Amino acid sequence: MKIGIVGAAGRMGRMLLVAVGAADGAQIGGGVEALGHPDLGKDLGVLTGLNAVGVVLGSDARALFDAVDVVVDFSFPNATTAHAQIAQATGTALVIGTTGLNDEQQSVIRQASSFAPIVQAANYSVGVNMLLGLVEQAARILPEAYDIEIIEMHHHHKIDAPSGTAWALGQAAAAGRDVDLVDVADKVRDGIIGPRTSGDIGFATLRGGDVVGDHTVMFAGPGERVEITHKAASREIFANGAVRAAIWATAQNPGFYNMKDVLGF
C-alpha cells in the first residue's frame, strides 16, 4: 500500500515517513512540499535518515494523489481544503490531522467524503481517543453542579488555540450533557467578568517550551474535583495512529470517518 505525505519535510511529515517505513504492508509512495522548499528533489528515505526509497520530494499535490492509495495531511486549513477537493476528484483516501478549520472549510471536506473515504481527527493518539470516551461518560454521569474546565498546553510554535484536541474534548463533554458546545463554551476570560455561568465549559490555553501536548479535563464539584489527564511525550504516537488510520481507510467505501471508527470504539 502506497501512502503519500503532505508536508513531508516538516517535523510531523518526517515522523509520518518514519512511521510508514516501519508499518507492515505499507510503503512511502510520495511526499510534497510547497514550491521553493529547499528539500525538493531529495529522496524521502534519505530525508528522514532512512535508506533511499527511490521516491523524491515533489510539489505537485495532484500528482501525489494520482500516485498513491492514501494521503496523510497534517498541514494548514487552506491547503487541506484544496487537498480534500483533489481527493474528491481522484477518489483517493485522505487522512486529515489539520486543526483550525472553519465551518466553510469543514463543509468542503464533508462534501468530498461522498466521493472518497476521509478520516478526520483532532488527535490520532489511541490514549486521547480513549480520553474522549471517558470525558463523555463522566459528563453524562456527573450533575451540572460539577463545573467543566479544559486545560491544554502545547509548544510555543503552535498557532491555533484552543487546540483541536481541547475542542474535541469540549465536544465530548457537551455530548455527555446533551448540549451544543458552541452555546456553552467559554474561551476568553479577562477583567471583571462576574461569577462563572452554570453549565459553561471553560477552556484555558497555555503555550511554552517544547511541550508536545498536555490535556486535562477537570470536573470541579462541591467538595471534590475529578481530573482526567493525557500527556503526550512524543509526536510518534500521532504519526503511528495516523498511519494506522491510513491503512484502515484504504479498505473503506467513500464516507466521513473518525478515529473511533478506525479503533472500533
Over residues 102-109, the mean pLDDT reads 97
Given this model, what pLDDT does residue 100 score? Answer: 85
pLDDT at 49: 86
Model confidence band, residue 120 (pLDDT cutoffs 50, 70, 90): very high
Q: What is the rounded distance in angstroms from the CA atom of residue 89 to the CA atom of residue 54?
A: 27
Alpha-carbon span 258 to 98, nearest angstrom: 13
Q: Is 174 helix (H, G, I), strand (E, B) or coil?
A: helix
- pLDDT band at 85; cut points 50, 70, 90: very high
- Which among 38, 48, 36, 50 has a CA at the least distance from the CA of 5? 48
Separation CA 101–CA 112 (nearest Å): 15
Mean pLDDT of 170-174: 97
Residue 157 annotated in active site: no
Range of lowest pLDDT (47-51, 79-83, 196-200, 223-227)? 47-51
- CB neighbours of residue 159 within 10 Å: 9
R_g over Cα of the chain: 19
Beta bridge partners of 231: 214
Across the range 34-50, mean pLDDT stands at 93
Q: Give the pLDDT confidence score for residue 234 in this predicted structure.
A: 87
Contacts of 77 (CB under 8 A, 6+ apart): 98, 100, 101, 102, 105
Looking at residues 43-59, what average pLDDT do you find? 93
Q: Can you give the pLDDT at residue 152? A: 97
User: Residue written as cell 462576574?
Assistant: 194
Is 158 marked active-site? yes
Averaged pLDDT for residues 151-176: 94
CATH 3.40.50.720 domain position(s) in the chain: 2-120+235-263
Q: Which amino acid is at 130?
A: M
* Range(s) of the chain covered by CATH 3.30.360.10: 126-232
Quick one: angle between helices 126-141 and 164-176, nearest 10?
A: 30
Q: Over range 65-71, report the average pLDDT.
A: 98
The pLDDT score that the predictor gives to residue 264 is 87
Q: CATH classification of 126-232, choosing from 3.30.360.10, 3.30.70.890, 3.40.50.150, 3.20.20.80?
A: 3.30.360.10
Domain 2-120+235-263 has CATH 3.20.20.70: no
What pLDDT, on the 0 to 100 scale, is given for residue 162?
94
- Report d(CA 243, CA 184) in Å as an integer: 34
Considering the candidates 158, 187, 215, 231, report the single residue annotated as catalytic.
158
pLDDT of residue 265: 76
Out of 83, 154, 215, 230, which one is annotated catalytic?
Answer: 154
Residue 51 neighbours by CB distance under 10 Å: 10
- b/e 248-257 (16+ beta carbons within 10 angstroms → b): bbbeeeeebb
